[in-house]
Amino acid sequence: MDIYGETFTSRLMLGTARYPSPDILKQSIEASGAEIVTVSLRRESANERAGQAFWNLIRETGVRVLPNTAGCHSVREAVTTAQMAREVFGTNWVKLEVIGDADTLQPDLFGLVEAARILTKDGFQVFAYTTEDLVAADRLVEAGCRVLMPWGSPIGSARGLNNVYGLRAMRARFPEATLLVDAGIGVPSHAAQAMELGYDGVLLSSAVALAGDPVSMARAFRLSVEAGRLAFEADPLQPRDMAEPSTPVLGLASFA
């Protein structure tokens, strides 16, 4: 998977919030094979000592950190948070979230595009958390975003891919962009479905962190993402309206 000129082997990315313990988080990252994890500046900087312990844990795993602007509801708030995250984590990467609705946590697409323009001009490499809206996606690409992260369904809902048609249309519209399905993934089959659509990867958090056995679930997601990508590359059989025999009829004995 290529992201802003860097190549990664794993196509699975993990969030780092809400795990039962730091040790379970570490084991889950290792079981998932993820090479990139997202981190909220707000949560990790709330307590200096706890934040340092978390940072040391992440360093031990050797993964790449992707700061996010989770919880931001305005352009100014998101831009300021991104700039602070760059100072704290030492990276120009940022997962840009500008939330527009408190109930669904749907992105504010107007604010998202505005914030993306500001941040890309400031040297950031933006991962835009968006919807499957093609017009918004066009504007984000024009603003300099090379990674788009459309939601599968609302954050934490575990409903999977609500709009497969829209996600498939986005993949077709932006063949050169890195597209990652983010939010709403609940079980490994959801992740496999996203990969079968040709998406470059998936980002998930609660599906692993809140599972009864996060480590086993992380391993399951690792396998599902690999399987979905292999299926996509294998050029799968397309659905048909009518039956087609799996056994050739040519050469069968005739008793007429």
Could you give the residue numbers annotated as active site?
A: 95
- Decide if 86 contacts 124 (C-beta within 8 A): yes
Beta strands in 62-193 (DSSP E): 64-68, 93-96, 125-130, 147-150, 178-182
Does the annotation place 206 within a ligand binding site? yes
Does the annotation place 90 within a ligand binding site? no
Does the annotation place 246 within a ligand binding site? no
Distance, in Å, from the CA atom of 223 to the CA atom of 59, rounded to the nearest integer, reads 24
Distance, in Å, from the CA atom of 50 to the CA atom of 109, rounded to the nearest integer, reads 34
φ and ψ of 204, to 5 deg: -145, 160
Does the annotation place 183 within a ligand binding site? yes
Does the annotation place 74 within a ligand binding site? no
- Decide if 123 contacts 148 (C-beta within 8 A): no
Q: Which residues are annotated as a binding site for 1-deoxy-D-xylulose 5-phosphate?
A: 156, 183-184, 205-206
Q: Which residues are annotated as a binding site?
A: 156, 183-184, 205-206
